[in-house]
Amino acid sequence: MEQFKFHVGLNVSNVERTTEFYQRLFGQEPVKVEKGYSKFELENPGLVISFIESNNASPSFGHMGVRVNSSEELSQKKKELESLMKIELEEKNTSCCFAVQDKFWVKDPDGYEWEVYHFLKDDDQMGSRQDASEKKNELVGCC
């Protein structure tokens, strides 16, 4: 049986700038690039993500994330990315979406948020980014 892949299509304001960001985030080249369009196909995690240049780019749906398998993987990914892009926020042992996680956040050129996280344990609290983000005068729900 073939494994399915999750697909996301996002409207973006500048496909070239967005493609460059995701090359850095994913550590690989897109599988397709056309005028106003690019697409990445990831094996791990199984994801097909495409970007369509549009005047209607709007990151208003929440966020996306990549779950890694260990604290070591999380540290390695952060180390790889922090020289390539801004780490917006880092959280340790934080309660978010009824789970305790270590994570960091990045934003693509249109403001779409990505969390890179390591799941630690289940939690009975929804949690928020309030405590960590108050330092930046910003209050954002975790999920």
Say if residue 38 is exposed, middle or buried (CB neighbours under 10 Å; 0-12, 13-18, 19+).
Answer: buried
Query: What's the whole-model pTM score?
Result: 0.72
| Residue 22: other Cβ atoms inside 10 A | 21
Q: Tens of pLDDT along 94-122?
A: 887 778 899 999 999 988 899 999 989 98
CB 33 within 8 A of CB 19: yes
22-34 per-position pLDDT tens digit: 999 999 999 999 9
